[in-house]
Amino acid sequence: MEIVIVQSQEQAGKLVADTVAALLKRKTDPVLGVATGSSPGAVYKELARRVEAGELSLRHAKAFMLDEYVGLSEEHPQRYRVVIDREFVEPTDIDPANVSGPEGTARDLVEACADYERQIHAAGGVDLQILGIGTDGHIAFNEPGSSLASRTRLKTLTRQTRQDNARFFGGDIEAVPKHCLTQGVGTLMEADHLVLLAFGQPKAEAVHHMVEGPVSAMWPATALQFHPHVTVLLDESAASRLQ
């Protein structure tokens, strides 16, 4: 696990965009894994800037989302597909038809999860997976207690995660869905390269467990210790509990 301390989220955004650019040199049609939430914001802004400047193109790329809420309408501004369209798809030149997420509005959620696994497999797997981490140690929405071998499935969000995400729902925890579909830990661990971003003091405990703690389903991000190629980008606050 490579740990990089950055001075700002903008610096992290540039480093991850450099990694995407290097991947595009090796492979014109890479498969990206995209996270939602605040942490990857500067990455998507920098990718958009480079596309706008003609420095790189995602025209032939595919992208797979990590997770999706269950219980929000198609057009809800916080539905993750709507967020990814707004923050990543529209500002870059990736083809929206090449961006997929778990179908949180499907009538048959079990089938939607199995179908999502098939889609990732058919694309040849994810080359570069961008990740955030929850204050409770979740990756994607694999909450504490998740099997470290899990595949895409329906999960219940913890109260902590719903509290953390209430900021996107006008501060109202009751407006945050209780359920989601999420890639499993086993699913996302199959990506070739994992890049995890964490900023701010509230992430320090989870980062400490992920990097230095014993591997445990109670801190799902500790599974990353088993992955051969992980880059962790932290600001000083998120790194403050590392030895």
Residues with catalytic roles: 67, 136, 138, 143
Does the footprint of ligand F6R cover residue 140 (CB under 6 A)? yes
Binding test (CB under 6 A) with ligand F6R, winner from 1, 10, 19, 38: 38
3-state helix vs strand vs coil in the chain, percent to 5: 40, 20, 45
Site mask for ligand F6R (CB under 6 A), range 66-105, x = bound: xx--------------------------------------
Is the Cβ–Cβ distance between 4 and 231 less than 8 Å? yes
**β-pair type (31-34, 62-65):** parallel
Q: Which stretch binds ligand F6R (CB under 6 A): 33-41, 44-52, 54-62, 85-93?
A: 33-41
What are the DSSP calls for 214-229, one per residue? PPBTTBGGGGGGG-SS
Nearer to ligand F6R, 57 or 163 (CB): 163
Alpha helices, DSSP H only, in the chain? Answer: 9-26, 41-52, 80-84, 109-122, 159-165, 185-188, 204-212
Does the footprint of ligand F6R cover residue 216 (CB under 6 A)? no
* Residue whose pair of structure tokens reads 């579909």 in the numeric block: 181
- Residue 144 Cβ, how far from ligand F6R at the closest point, in Å? 13
Which residues would be at the binding site for ligand F6R (CB under 6 A)?
35-39, 66-67, 132-134, 138-141
